[in-house]
Amino acid sequence: MNCPPSRETPSDLHTKLAHLGRAPSEHKGMVNVPVYRGSTIVADSLEEWDSRKTADNPMASYGRFGSPLTRSLEHAICDLEGGYRSILFPSGLSACTHSLMGLLKAGDHLLISDSVYGPTRTFAERVLKRMQIDVEYFHPTRLDDLATRIRPTTRVVYVESPGSMTFEVQDVPAIAQLAHAVDAFVVMDNTWATPLFFRPFKHGADVSVQAATKYIVGHSDALLGIATANERAWPALQSSAHDFGETAGPDDIFLALRGLRTLAMRLQRHWDNGVQLAQSLQGHPSVLRVLHPALPDDAGHAIWKRDFRGASGLFGVVLRPMTREQLSVLFRRLKLFGIGLSWGGYESLALLADPRPARATGLPFEEGMLLRLHAGLESPEDLIADLHQALEAARFVGRAKAVSTATT
């Protein structure tokens, strides 16, 4: 079953999210689609067995290819994304890598935004290059740089807007126009905005991937990836997932459907908290720059305002250089922010990162150290107070060290 065109407006989203993927009449009146656990799916007759076969997957009547629970989430996400069909993967990275594997072959040229999610970059370097795929990186915000790198052999242009570490916002419609001129596919990582705040197919993407682990699940208790394709890209995406035997566990799918029901409310809170926290850090003595597209003075704000419906809770802060001792104090003093790699859950997170070694085209900042923050669902006043007191504690260590050095 293909996903019908979506006609919702932003005001419809709360209602839509409460009902997408649900069919109580098909499940004995159950409000939620039951968890289907199983591998073998039997038929009562040869005729019934043959009727289940599909042209694109003759072996569809098997647990690896999904259940009514699987279809419920796939159809819900497809509707939200505005795509043709969706398919589930066991992790967000799996959705990224298998989307690329399905579209690329030896000899193809792949262009990747230099702000891409680190594990996707690692996959391109370790696996795709070994498969004789020509991998190249382009500056995320310079269309002229992309235009000079596109070739007749370019098969995929991979974007992530904003980048989940340095937060450059990309002009996806303009990138798609350049890519489609040479018949290349545009694959977009849409995890930061989710389909509620960015509609990738409306802006020219051919495949949209998401780490549903993050905002869709929303409670940091499941791993899941989702890829949605337009009609042109769907056959390659589907065959890649099937040929590699990718499948997602029923409990994780159930948790993603649960999270979907509150996604609009949670995202609004993440957006509000993130902006308030980011604004509070502007002009702080320990902060050189705040990287948040929703702030008016951010370099990507104009494109964000044009193309996005909102912002998530993830953003970056460029700190003035600190000693190891200061950093240790900073993280030790934080009470509401955990040190963690993921994001998108209800909890707030802080992570020190250095994107310099991987970048080929330069960073949006020249000095300082990057602190990535995820604003959770706590009180914004509490988050602001917690982060500021930790920054002040780190500053005090620095001042005390400077005074001690000066007097000896």
Active site residues: 64, 117, 189, 214
For residue 317, give the nearest of 290, 337, 280, 357 by alpha carbon.
290
28 Ramachandran zone, left/alpha/beta (phi>0; psi -120 to 50): left
How many C-beta neighbours within 10 Å does residue 143 have? Answer: 15
The residue with tokens 């796939």 is 74
- Cα separation, 366 vs 116, in Å, equals 19
As given in the structure block, the two tokens for residue 294 are 């929703």
Tell which residue, 281, 283, 284, has the closest CA to residue 292.
281
The rounded distance, in Å, linking the Cα atoms of 398 and 406 is 12
**How would DSSP label each residue in 215-260?**
TTT-SS----EEEEE-TTTHHHHHHHHHHTT----HHHHHHHHHHH
Alpha carbons 406 and 396: distance in angstroms, whole number: 15
Give helix then strand counts, H and E, for the chain.
Answer: 14, 12
CB atoms closer than 10 angstroms to residue 241: 24
Half-sphere exposure of 158 (CA within 13 A, CB side): 27
Asked if residues 337 and 386 have their Cβ atoms less than 8 Å apart, the reply is: yes
CA nearest to 275, candidates 301, 236, 243: 301
